[in-house]
Structure 1
C-alpha cells in the first residue's frame, strides 16, 4: 500500500499565502480543513506553510507526505444522522521548523503574496518570555518569533502599507488577538525597534481575536489500519474530528470577502466583539457539561453519550439549557436555541467516547465560571433559584465524596478542595455536622466563589435539601422530579 505523497497522488497545489504556527491535530482539522474547502470551491487559492514553533522532532514533519493528509469528519449531521466523511487535504504545502529552518522562516516574510498568519501554540503560547532578544535564532516565545518575522516583512518591503498581515490566533485565551498584539508591541519597544515599525504594525496589520470550537480527536490509533484499508493508502497523519465546527473572528468586515466566505458560507462569523459568543459557549456548551457530569456519573453512567441516551438525564440537561441558561443570556433567542441544538447533537456523537470523569477535573472552578453566573442572573430575573442549576451544585458536592455504589473513584481538583471535602464528608459520616452545615462550609469560601454564597437568599437551604435527597434516595430518584 502506498504512502501519501504528491507524486503518487497528484492534484491541486496552491501558492503560499498563509503561515501557520503550530503543526498539531487541531489546526489541521480546523483551519487547514476550512482553507481546503475554500480552495476547492472558491478562488481563494491559498497554500499553507506550517511552522513548527518548538524544538522537537516528534511527531515527524508533515513534509514526509508532501503536506498531504486525510481528515475524517464524523458525528451527527444537521438531520441527526451519523455521518463520516474522509477528505484528502491539499491546502498544506510543507512544514518547516522555526529552529532547524530559521533562515527559511525569515524568508517567508519576503514573499509578497503572504497574507495570513494563523496559530495555535497552546494556551501558554501567547505569553512573555524574559530574555528573548531580536537576534536570537529563534526567540523562545511565539510572540517574540512573530515580532521578528513582522520586522523582517516591514524591512524587506520598506514599510509598504499593503504588505501587512491578517493575524488570527486560535489559542484558547480571552481576546487572544489583543493579547498577542500587546506582546508584539512590548517586544518592539524592548528591542528598541523604530517608531515607524510600530506605526506600521498598527496601521497595516490586523490582529483578530477569535473563538474556535470543534472537538478534534486526532489520530485514530485503534482504527488506523481499517481506515487506511478503506482509503487505499497509508497516512501517518490521519486526523479525526467531530462534524460540528464554529469559527468566530473579531475583525474587519472586509475579511469575509478576502477569505471568500461570501462565495462559500462556512460556519465562520466575522463580528465586532466575540464576547457574547464566548459567553454563549461557556454558558451553554461548558455549562451543560458541568451540570451533567456529577448528576450522570452518580446515576451510574460513564460517558456523555451514555447520558444523552438516557431519557431522564437527557431531559434534565435539556431543561437546564432551555429553561434556565438561555433565558439569561444576551443574544437573540433563536441564535441561542440553534447553538443549543447543535450542542446536544454533539453530546450524542457516537464516534466520541467522552468520559465523564475526565470532564469532572477541577469541577469547583468550572461551576463558578460556567454555571454560577447564570444561577445568580436567573434568581435576579425570575425572583427564584433555577432548580436544575441549584441541584447541579448539590450533585457536585455529593460527587466529592469520591464513592459510587460502594466503589471509590478519583476526584481531581485543587489540593485545598480535596482536603476540605475529605474532612467535611468524614465529619458528616460521623454525624459531627449536618448536611446544612456541610453545605454552608462549602458555600462560604469567599476566596473561591468571590462572594459568600450563604448570603444568596435560599441557596444554602435548597442545596442542602437536594443533597439530603441524593444521600437518602440515590441520584436517580432525587433528580427525577427535575427531568
Structure 2
C-alpha cells in the first residue's frame, strides 16, 4: 500500500480539496494530534472557503517527535471528526493539506531561525502542554536550541527583530489560565536575562500581539485499533491518522482587527475574537467540566462505566440536566441563549458514539476537580438564591461516598468496592491518606471531616449554612437505598 502523499492522491483520482503550494504564513510550535485536529483543521478550511492561501510550518517542540513522519507524507494526513450533530451520528473525513513541512529544532535549529526571514510569516501558534510555558533561568540565549519553549520563541523573535521585519499575532493554546499573558511574561524575562536590549523589548511589546485563547475539542488522536482497517478503506498508508469530536470552539482574546487577517467568519468557523475570554472559560469549566465532575462519581457507584451510557439512563441524564439548567446556568452571566445552546452541545458531546469515555478515567484527582469545576457554581448559587442547590450538594456527597469506599490501600491508590468488583481511587497522596484515616467514620463524621478540611476546600464549604448536614443526610440516604435511587430522589 502506497504512503499518503500528493502523488498517491493524484494516482487515486482524489477530487477533494488540496492546496499543494502557498506561502508559509503560520509557524506552529507543536505537531501533535490536538493542533493538527484543531488549529490546522481550521486553517485548512480557511484556505478552501475564504482564500487564506497559507501554509503552516510545524516545529517539533520535544525530541523525539513526528517530524520525519510528517515530512515523509509531505505534510498530508487524514482527519476524521466524529460525533453527533442535530441528534444524528456524523463521521467526516478530510485530508488536511495546509502543512508544508515539520522542522526538528534539535537537528535543524538554523532552519527554524531561517523562518524569521520570511516576510509572509505573520502568525505563531503554540501548544507545548501545560508545562511548556515556563521560565527556566538555566536556558541560555546561545543554546541551539534553548531548552524551554518561551526561550525558543524569544530567540526566534529576536532573529525577526534583527531583520527589521514586522512582528506576529501569537496564539497560545496551552491549557493554562491566561496562556498568552503567561507566555509574554516569560518572553520578557528572557529579554532581561539575556540582556537583549531596550529596543528589542519595545519591539516585543509594540509589534507583537500575544493572545490568550480558549480551545475546546476532544481529540482522540491516532485510532490505533482501527488504523489498519481505515487505511485499507482509504487505499493508502497514513501513519498520521487523527481523530476528534465534531464539536470545536476557539475563543481568542485580542483586538477585532485579527479578523481582518484571519478570515474565520467568512469560512463560517466556530471561532470568536473577544475582549475577554474569561466568561467563555468559566462557561466551559462550569458547564462541560462541571457536568462531568458532578455526575460521574455518583453514576459509577450507580452501576455505569462510560459517559455515553449515562446519557441513555433517564435518572442519571436527568440528574445532569437539572444540575446544568437549574443550578449551574443561573450562576453564569453570559446571555442565557448562549449558555443553553452550549449546554445542549455538551449533551450531544457526551452522547458521542465514537468515544467510550471511562468514568473511572474522569474520576482521577476528583478532589481538585470538584473544587475547580463544581464548588464555584455551588457557592455562587447559594449567594444568589440563599439556598443550597440540591444536585450540586448531592454531587459532593457522591464524591465523598466514592472516596469513603476506599477501605484498603493499593499501589498509589485506595481500593473501593462496587458490588462484587473493586475500583481504584487515585488522587494526591495526602488526599488518599486523609480518607484512609477516616475509613471507619460514620456518615455524619465523614461529612464533618471532609466539609471542614480547609486544605481541600478552603473555608468556603464549612461556611455554607446547612451544607454539612445536607451532605450527611445525602450520605445516609445513599447507604439506605443505594446511589441510583438516591440520585432519582434528587429529581423530585
What TM-score bracket applies, with the shorter chain setting the length? over 0.9
Change in CA separation of 1:181 and 1:131 when aligned onto 2, cut-off 3 Å: same
Matched-pair contact (CA < 8 Å) for 1:298–1:475: yes
Aligned-residue CA RMSD (Å): 1.2
Which residue of the partner structure matches residue 421 of structure 2? 407
Match of 2:287 among 284, 296, 300: 284
Q: Find the residue that maps to 1:249 and give its secondary structure.
A: strand
Matched, 1:50 2:58: yes
Match of 2:477 among 449, 469, 474: 469
Which residue of the partner structure matches residue 96 of structure 1? 103
- How far is 1:115 from its partner? 0.4
Which residue of the partner structure matches residue 438 of structure 2? 424
Question: 2:304, 2:71 → 1: CA distance?
Answer: 43
Question: 1:287, 1:259 → 2: CA distance?
Answer: 32
Change in CA separation of 1:57 and 1:119 when aligned onto 2, cut-off 3 Å: closer
Unmatched 5+ stretches in structure 2: 11-17, 406-415
Deviations 1:148-169 (A, max 9, x none): 0000001012xx4xx1100001
Match of 2:113 among 106, 109, 132: 106
- How far is 1:80 from its partner? 1.2
Which residue of the partner structure matches residue 9 of structure 1? 9
- How far is 1:34 from its partner? 0.5
- How far is 1:61 from its partner? 3.3
Which residue of the partner structure matches residue 13 of structure 2? none
Q: Find the residue that maps to 2:273 and give its secondary structure.
A: strand
Match of 2:143 among 124, 136, 149: 136
Which residue of the partner structure matches residue 37 of structure 1? 45
Q: How does 1:153-302 map to 2 (within 5 A)?
A: 153-157=160-164, 160=165, 163-302=166-305
- How far is 1:98 from its partner? 1.1
Question: 1:408, 1:420 → 2: CA distance?
Answer: 20
Question: 2:370, 2:100 → 1: CA distance?
Answer: 43
Worse-matched range after superposition: 7-16 or 265-274? 7-16
Instruction: Return structure 1 stretches of 4+ with deviation > 6 angstroms.
Output: none
Question: 2:105, 2:351 → 1: CA distance?
Answer: 40
Question: 1:352, 1:60 → 2: CA distance?
Answer: 29
Unmatched 5+ stretches in structure 1: 429-433
Question: 2:268, 2:259 → 1: CA distance?
Answer: 10
Q: Find the residue that maps to 2:292 and give its secondary structure.
A: helix
Change in CA separation of 1:290 and 1:59 when aligned onto 2, cut-off 3 Å: farther
Q: How does 1:59-74 map to 2 (within 5 A)?
A: 60-74=68-82
Worse-matched range after superposition: 378-387 or 57-66? 57-66
Question: 1:100, 1:330 → 2: CA distance?
Answer: 49
Change in CA separation of 1:57 and 1:331 when aligned onto 2, cut-off 3 Å: closer
Change in CA separation of 1:341 and 1:452 when aligned onto 2, cut-off 3 Å: closer
Matched-pair contact (CA < 8 Å) for 1:2–1:234: yes
Q: How does 1:247-396 map to 2 (within 5 A)?
A: 247-396=250-399
Question: 1:76, 1:33 → 2: CA distance?
Answer: 18
TM superposition score normalised by structure 2: 0.94
Match of 1:451 among 454, 459, 464: 459
Q: Find the residue that maps to 1:217 and give its secondary structure.
A: coil
- How far is 1:452 from its partner? 5.5
Deviations 1:19-51 (A, max 9, x none): 000110000000111100000111111100000
Question: 1:406, 1:399 → 2: CA distance?
Answer: 15
Question: 2:461, 2:251 → 1: CA distance?
Answer: 34
